[in-house]
Amino acid sequence: MAEETSRPNDADEQAPAPEGPAQDDPRDQEVTRRKFLITSVGAMSGAMAAAVAVPAIFYVAGPVKEQGASEEWIRLGSASSVETGSKTLMKATVERRAGYLTTTEELSVFVSTDNGTDFLALSNICTHLGCRVRWVEEQDGFFCPCHNAVFGPDGSVLEGPPPRPLDRFETKVEDGQIFIRKL
């Protein structure tokens, strides 16, 4: 050790190879103590960084896989309150769990029926950027206030930027109550 430190401290200070291009210098191929130590320290540092970085990726991405809304049937209300041939806006509160917090959220759904037994439930969330659409009876369409999108009574896109029709829910009627579920 003492001998090591008393010497000029690095290989950089060695005289350049007297002749020939540097690549042919056999010392470049040689594993010197210095090269070995640099590589070892580098490898250990990399391993330690990875020991934190890899778990960190899973940790950061943790909540992504959490299921927000439940897959259960949600009760909207009485089936008799839906007027035939029109759109009725029905609301339900759903519980949403996000990490350590459970919040209630209001879900609004346009429900319609032609015969009183088969129901169509459409989400009021515009498929473009998530604004809330409203039903305009006189023009027979859903209008989005944000970018002037228009959806038909069946939810299909008539005008504007939305990439797909309004989302539909699966419906069922039990004891005169309408239930919906995510499709």
Partner 1 sequence: MTTKLGDWLNDRSGWRTIYGTVFLRKIPKINWAYTLGSATLFAMVIQIVTGILLTLYYVPDPQLAYASVTYITNELPFGWLIRGLHHWGASAMVLLVVLHMIRVIVYGAYKYPREFTWITGVALLLLTFAFGFTGYLLPWDQRAYWATVVGTKIGEVTPVFGDTIRALMLGGEEISGLTLSRFFGAHVWVLPSVLLLLVGIHLYLVIRNGITSVPKRGE
Contacts with partner 1 by CB under 8 A lie at 1-2, 5, 9-10, 12, 52, 55-56, 58-63, 99-101
- Which residue, 48 or 136, has its beta carbon nearer to partner 1? 48
Rounding to the nearest 10 degrees, give the CA dihedral for residues 79, 81, 87, 91.
Answer: -80
Q: Output the smallest distance, CB 54 to partner 1, in A.
A: 9
- Which residue, 8 or 163, has its beta carbon nearer to partner 1? 8
- What is the arrangement of strands in the sheet containing 168-174, beginning at the earlier edge strand? 74-78, 177-182, 168-174, 119-123, 101-113, 88-98
What token pair was written down for 99? 């990490």
Q: Output the smallest distance, CB 59 to partner 1, in A.
A: 5
- Which residue, 5 or 29, has its beta carbon nearer to partner 1? 5
- Give the strand pairing for 141-143 and 134-136: antiparallel
Q: Output the smallest distance, CB 99 to partner 1, in A.
A: 5
Which regions of 44-149 does DSSP assign to beta strands (E)?
Answer: 74-78, 88-98, 101-113, 119-123, 134-136, 141-143
What three-state secondary structure class fits 163?
Answer: coil
- Which residue, 96 or 128, has its beta carbon nearer to partner 1? 96
Q: Output the smallest distance, CB 18 to partner 1, in A.
A: 21
